[in-house]
Copies of this chain bind each other. A is one copy, B any other.
């Protein structure tokens, strides 16, 4: 099976997102099975909205989008669904924006990834970098601190937006 290279962390603007999303949904199903969790209709719908793009999306955006499709659900229901999706490792939380994004690559769910969020287009990607997390643990322990969860988020410009900015007047 092909593993994405770091250069592929961001999707090409013209990529086939329908196929991309379907593949992501299938991986989600597998992840739920593997953990003995149930991917109910509601959870699948919520995940579908999150996986509909490579952007991070707020809980209330999910509510709005589902409502436009005829499914009106309460905030608590979205959050409950999101909780399970997070537990399954198929979505992550972008702490710096209080929003959620789908895991579009099939990486091990150990959550040792640096999160990259483009400040211009909003697309979110992840790159594996276990050495960084090892270094973080070392730095933490040098302060006699025992690390449990680590979060690395980077805001900046993705390749596509950098080109756009560069060619702007």
Chain A positions near chain B (C-beta within 8 angstroms)? 6-7, 9-10, 95-96, 98, 114, 116, 118-119, 125, 127, 129, 131-132, 135-136, 139-140, 142-159, 162
A145, closest chain B residue (CB): B116
Most buried by B among A96, A114, A119: A114
Q: Are B159 and A140 in contact (CB under 8 A)?
A: no
Query: In the complex, what residues of B have CB within 8 A of residue A149's CB?
Result: 154-156
Distance to closest chain B CB from A55 (angstroms): 15
Interface of A is mostly: mixed
Interchain CA distance A145-B129 in the complex, whole Å? 14
Q: A125-B145, A129-B135 are in contact. Are A140 and B153 (CB under 8 A)?
A: no
Q: Are A132 and B125 in contact (CB under 8 A)?
A: no
Query: In the complex, what residues of B have CB within 8 A of residue A150's CB?
Result: 152-155
Q: Are A152 and B125 in contact (CB under 8 A)?
A: no
Q: Are B129 and A139 in contact (CB under 8 A)?
A: yes
Q: Are A154 and B132 in contact (CB under 8 A)?
A: no
Q: Are A156 and B162 in contact (CB under 8 A)?
A: no
Partner of A159, one of B131, B135, B144, B147: B144
Interchain CA distance A116-B143 in the complex, whole Å? 9
Q: Are B148 and A155 in contact (CB under 8 A)?
A: yes
Q: A118-B145, A145-B10 are in contact. Are A136 and B159 (CB under 8 A)?
A: no
Q: Are A95 and B153 in contact (CB under 8 A)?
A: yes
Q: Are A139 and B155 in contact (CB under 8 A)?
A: no
